[in-house]
Amino acid sequence: MINHKIPMDGGNIMDLFHRGRPVRVCAPMVRYSKLAFRCLVRKYDCDVCFTPMIIAADFMRSIKARDSEFTTTDRPLIVQFAAKDAQTLADAACVVSPFSDGVDLNCGCPQRWAVSEGYGACLINKPELVKDMVRHVRNQIDNPNYTVSIKIRIHKDLRKTVDLCQKVEAAGVSWITVHGRTADERHQPVHYDAIKTIKDSLSIPVIANGDIKSMQDVEAVYELTGVDGVMAARGLLANPAMFAGYEETPLQCVWDWVDIAVEHGTPFTCFHHHLIYMLECISSQPERRVFNSLSSTSAVVDFLHSTYGSL
């Protein structure tokens, strides 16, 4: 069921950056980047998946948090942490390193709660701290193939972003994902010129993030910026088969999700929400109204059979 690109016993994820095309990455999404959805996008040419963001301090403090936040049988996998001190991040990285291919530090979440707690986007203004965090993880993980990456937003003054990126490159970061908006921007156009400037300033791989909704977008961003990979979030929620070149979610993908979600015991709300996203472009408004009101897995399956038929 899972389309492994790297053997389960590991391998060097950095090799993916040398295949002559942009690496296709599924973004860390709260509630959505769980194991079942990662298994689905891997069937449709996604190269690397991220876990949802996990708060490193909570993860280390509580066995319950570890069990609920971190489930994996899929590789290659990057575990994204929110952290604000180097030792906590390094400790969390040591716990997950046998079961994953790298850790990523969230330096881009713009939500008010995260920033007020010292997590996410506020870290782009603390380059020395981010450098220290990267170096700590590097020093504590024995596996030389294990990656340490960061995901950032950009400053209004792009020189600050370039400075941050060059500092963490010197500290040993494996790659950087750049969401091409500032922490204050939500739906404004992505600054692809800024991503290109950052890419041109570094010798490590750079992944572009922001408004990637089709393979045409992937190619266009690749041409515009010269990046080494692209990361999609909402585009993959709407069409998990996007990286395989489908313009909209194919029926096969819908039924694959039903099978995978049932197999993994996915809670109904999550199972249903994914289908709401996937069916949005291929269903009529009256169909959506009915579908959105369904309240059991069996009702969903019956609706899909009667509306779209089986394969």
Residue list, annotated binding site for FMN: 28-30, 80, 179, 233-234
Backbone dihedral angles phi then psi of residue 23, each to the nearest 5 degrees: -70, 135
Residue numbering of the annotated binding site? 28-30, 80, 179, 233-234
Clarify whether 109 is annotated catalytic.
yes
Identify the active-site residue in 46, 107, 109, 165.
109
**Cα–Cα distance between 270 and 69 in angstroms, integer?**
15
Contact (Cβ atoms closer than 8 angstroms) between residue 88 and residue 140: no
Backbone dihedral angles phi then psi of residue 30, each to the nearest 5 degrees: -55, 130
Which residues are marked as active site?
Answer: 109
